[in-house]
Structure 1
């Protein structure tokens, strides 16, 4: 049996399926399911549900809490929140009950029942709106409530005033001299949120934001002096938490113990102000409604037998002025068709005598013998004592409806859906051919049955209660099962409306066979179950993206990233990428492959929640071919372990390769040293070629030094400092000087030589240092100094030795005046990153080798020049 009409506002398919299943199982009517706030407002406006189950975090312009605020304000519809988080900031915005996912059926049942009961209680407690509720009840029966509201305004105000007078007020005792509270009752403390001790430590100016201490003192003086208009104030009181509320304050002086004290009674008038606002709004709606409805509406005083109000539509309907009825309450009878006059007159006499409403159809004659059919209904209005003293009525032109009845019946018979007309006892009064074919009965057989004989799910008692609820609400839409004549159950969706009439009313039901849809739903449910089973069992991450926003992920994806499902779903995939560049590259490359090949695969990096970077092989395919807007499915394979294994293999191979290279350098050094030994033997055997051989030995030795250094280092590049030391020592040894030259090193850090320039720079340094030993005045080399200065951007090797001057015609650019050694240096000098400067000061000869990029750099690894 349906207990309430409930709207679901949710964007998660699993939650929607569970809620719809639970509502059907517990006989609630689900009037619809939407996924956005705007859709919820539109459906609520059309259907006006009894309760809304609302997801807090809705997509779109309106979230669930904002949508609920509008529903409560605009339609007075209660809301039960469904939250996928326990975020306090979010839940604090929700004034209604909130159910946190996941929830059990027991929790859902309690929450739904509590929400419905709470809203019903709030409706009963709104006594100040009783007059508005009566006007709305009349309007629901197509009555214009404007005149009725006039009758109830005074009554509602009296009831509201009685309720206020019976409620406990806040009472304060104040000493005007000290402007402090002396005493206060519990209502005063509770209304302001203070304890008694906190309140008595304050004064009236602490709770009245609109009054300064000076203004309050002046007001008290006026009260004490007996001014009659000073004893009542409408103002605001401020609670401990800073919030304010309107109050009506009554001030009365009295004397005690020789002091003039003040008794203050403060009454919270929030409800009254709201009631006045609602009453004003109701009167405005009443006026708009009365002036614009097509039906003739009136209110008649039974005691004086006169009309109190007649709507303008009377003149359109009867073609007579409204004034004629104000002058003669029976003037309308002059338009009644002679064949109906006696019946109509008797009906209105009966109404007056029995003080009960009537309903009847009759004809009137207007203009040039034009006949109109009217449907007239009247409703009793009671005074405060419960006595009927007025009657409201409405007359509707039903001429066209009578014409439409035949068309309507033709349409019903042509409908593919079944149709039943029931009385309020559930007995079948009429049916169409589609329902006859659907159920296997003949028309005569069906007209002998009631709906309880056909509905498999409802007992006769439940069916009777269901009918009662439909007549109260006016309509219902629900699913059930009807029993075919051969015993087969047929799944039905029924849309039923209550149509009141003079015979007690009818229930008109359109019945749609949803057996195929139910079968499709079961198939879909099994398909979804299999799909989710695959997702759970898959060893790789699987999910769905729409516009690169996660819509669904499996457990493997959760384990892989370290995030919970709710932390991923609804978020952009950007959250998993270490950089924006990674995110952009994957999007561009993957979607390019999808557009070209229908599937995209790319290797990338993801950042886990704990900060660890993992390597992922990402593959994607569109859900709908050639329509990426519908989203893509993806698989994510963690290849971090295989990447690490590959890296370890490359490191091992590089280590083996470096060891082999060092061994080659070592053997080359040994062979060069052997060559140097042979050349030294030739010097002894051939003294005439000693200078040329010594120069060659020096150059070969320099190369041997370089290979010796590279055989000891794990890379091919050398530090300039280390190379300079080795070359200078080797040059001193070749020059047979007893002392190695002094090297002054002022560099703050390491400067590395490019691997492609190492041999060239070594040969240049060897020639410069060898020449310094050879041509210096002191044959023992003690006058030779070497200075290393600068940084990794610009480094200078300064070599100086005693001497008179360089050759006068020396020109390094053209080679003029250069001996063999300088000519070799000029040839070897790199075109970029190296410069040689030669100068003299009369005592010393100086050679400066200035080095910069790309010959030198700060790191030991760089691309060779």
Structure 2
């Protein structure tokens, strides 16, 4: 059994109050009723039941018999009071009074809720009366309405009759009551419809039948339905009404509705007039060949087909787009803020703007903007677009062609001067530079203003121009005087052309001969200077033809590089100048430089006078940008003395370094031995720390032995020497003999890198020290150096006993003993193992490259060394 739902405080108050209470909504649906009401009625009213199913007396007490009055009650109004006289058996009738309130709702869309309180008032008698039976409400069909209710109905009827809207109340198919306005609006006789069936109303007009059928269908789905109704009353014009029908309650049995008619004939007439005006406007808007758009807040509200065709988009797609989006802002120089400011101040604006159609093509249009209301710019403006793209592009092409012609003439090095009947009309940049002045200094003046005083100067004698036909030219040579006083020679052509109105125009093309001659002289001088520099340069300079690789030019210094005089080597390929190997190498390097287009650097050596001669050679392709190299410049420098000096400095630096390293190693060894001696003295004075100090002394002695070996060595230490030195040091420290054996063919050929020497020495010292400490007796400790071609194994054998389950991999790292050994041994190239063999413990250290390396065999003179050096072929 499910647990009862918890009782809220509000519900508890509602149920425990002694006053009979019932709560319902505007649809007549009971929300809740308390136990006092159940006791008064004699039965319970479950939540969700309809008031229309309860006795009429209860409906009257709750005000449901007049729903219009109930719906007019607001939360701020006083309660509606009702009274019902209920007869009782064998007793006087009971007077039941009720008060109804509307509850305020936080959500206005929620159904309205009403609260009704009911109490009875029994007349008090003098004699004691019998126990009053329960006043059960069963039916009050005979109960008469109270005077206050009749007054309320009278007031409500007065309000309904004075309203301009027609209102009617229907229950099922019967019109219970309506105001006269409702009847007059439908063309019916006032006062004739109350209590009539719906078929009387339907027979008045077929359109009413259609609307009522639609209304009944829609009310089955929703609570409210609105429609428009057209009524033709005989003798009157056609009237239009809005019909609003609202259902009362949720139950359809009986179906109760309230219908409201409102006259909208005037509105419909105005709408018809506006639609007619709109059609006329749309007709002009649509048929116009000019693109028109209505713009408001910067957005296109509507656009006609002409604009749609101009832009290449549908009018529906243009609607809602910003007007600025149809402009080609990357081409158009007009600024929208300036246009908007002028439009607001003057009320209109006109100009040419660039548009971009759907395909991305730019077209020009004559745009005219005009405000709809100059007093209210926010109401928007009308924009019209006339296609002037062809005219604009033609003008633009003419302007562009003229600008291009001027730009081309300005870019040439020939001075161009154009004359008309007034004198000089235009000069290009070269002519202005030639005459040393600006265009404004010469416009309108004769060309003779820059002529010399000679009377027969071509700029003064212009009779020959009269004999020239259109397009013919005349060549001349003369001197010209610039504004800066410079006198120079020019060669020129004079051409006659016909312009507008067959007017003759003369165009002079002038070339400064002095500058060309000066440039030629400077070029020849520079060539001679460069030739002298090349001849006197200490480097060997060659100029090689890129196609045949033949010598084109060479300086005198190149004779030592080629071993032949330059004059005899001209026109010859490398094969004719050098031996086969050398020629093949040089040709390959030359071809590499030409193919890559980059400088190629090489260093060659060759035997010369019983020694090696070194040459530093650079190959540089000579080419113009975007073209293939036609020549190859070869520059060679003899760097033999430089290489000898560098080798001497290198040998001296190596010798000095070796001497310094030996001295440093010797001093480190002496200092470490001094530290060991001091530690031994401390151990003698303090016996309690003697074992620890003895271990430290052994480690210091091991490091000192390594530095001592490095004093006499010229490179990496040999492993055999390190093992012998450490064994001797441990033997001296503890006085226990150590036997050292060598096994294998390469025992003395393995060497230690400098970085591994001290760690290996310390590890050997710790292992030999452990063999002494943990091996009882005075028998000799055996140390074997067993080598092979793959690596070296150091075997230390001595008396001792390993603990049960001993594993060297479990020994933690530390600063002494096996922990130090594990920490110092290189992990990549060394392995440590300890195992028990009878009464002896065998310690094995395996060393492999790169921790150790074999000494390379000595180089035999005449055999290859394995190093590749770029030498001159011999």
TM range (shorter): 0.3 to 0.5
Normalized per residue, the structure richer in helix is 1
Larger Rg: 2
Please report the TM-score for the alignment, with normalisation by the length of structure 1.
0.36
Please report the TM-score for the alignment, with normalisation by the length of structure 2.
0.35
